[in-house]
Amino acid sequence: MRISGPNLRGSGIEHDLRRKHPYLDYEQYDFDVVIGSAGDCYDRYLVRIEEMRQSVRILRQVIDKLPGGPINVADWKNMAPPKSHVMTKMEELIHHFIVVTEGLDAPPGEVYFAAENPKGELGFYINSRGGGVPYRLKIRAPSFVNLSILPELLPGCMVSDVPSRAGESGLRHGRVRQMNMLRSIFSIFAHHSCSRSAFRALRANASRKPMWTRSNEGMSKKQVESILGHPTSVDQ
């Protein structure tokens, strides 16, 4: 497993990319790396709350050190010109068109950069053969990687515990395919509560009708027992 962020620090491991591999001048700011001890949902919640306070602490230091002047380099061949220039000058209009349609002329090579995200390590691997479009691009989304702890967390718990444990792992459907996530959770419970063949039969029987025709229907206890058999000690 390669979890990071509040899930890792909530278990007492002090790992923060802003301290381990500083970037964007984070080494110049004073803040605490918040860690927990128990590693449960409540501990991860407390870590997230305190990290928000530390973020406010960093922002106040940034505001105090923020210099005046422009925020972009005035190199319109490598950066989109201001809108006022694009609408009034032909040269800036051409530069804007080239930057937007072709991108920056990156040199050949490869690079991996990771930053500390609220949910963990957000990384980008870029392989370039030159030009404005990468040859290969891989995004390391922390929400997807953090799902690797579910097989260790879910066995033995009740179904009602799944939302809190999955939610506190930093799950976001924008970065994790919903059906793949659900299948992994279903397989975990199927492995620990009944045979895989019986679980597939139960799921197939529940999927015979479209969702909109069975939204208010449910399988009776007798139907479930006919597929799975009588409850085992694990189910009880």
Q: Any residues with CB less than 8 A from the CB of 52 and at least 6 apart, and which?
A: none
The reported pLDDT for the residue numbered 22 is: 93
The reported pLDDT for the residue numbered 224 is: 53
Locate 192 and state its tokens. 């620990």
| Low-confidence spans in the chain with pLDDT less than 50 | 1, 178-179, 190, 192-195, 199, 202, 206-218, 233-236
The reported pLDDT for the residue numbered 102 is: 81
Q: What is the pLDDT of residues 1-53, one digit of tens each?
A: 478 888 889 888 999 999 999 999 999 999 999 999 888 888 888 999 999 99
Distance (Å, whole) CA 111 – CA 170: 26
The reported pLDDT for the residue numbered 58 is: 96
The reported pLDDT for the residue numbered 227 is: 52
SS3 for the chain is: CCCCCHHHHCCCCCCCHHHHCCCCCHHHCCCCCCCCCCCCHHHHHHHHHHHHHHHHHHHHHHHHHCCCCCCCCCCCCCCCCCHHHHCCCHHHHHHHHHHHHHCCCECCEEEEEEEEECCEEEEEEEEECCECCCCEEEEECHHHHHHHHHHHHCCCCCHHHHHHHHHHCCCCCCCCCHHHHHHHHHHHHHHHHCCHHHHHHHHHHHCCCCHHHCCCCCCCHHHHHHHHCCCCCCCC
Task: Indicate the pTM of the whole model.
Answer: 0.64
Encoded amino acid at 76, one letter: W
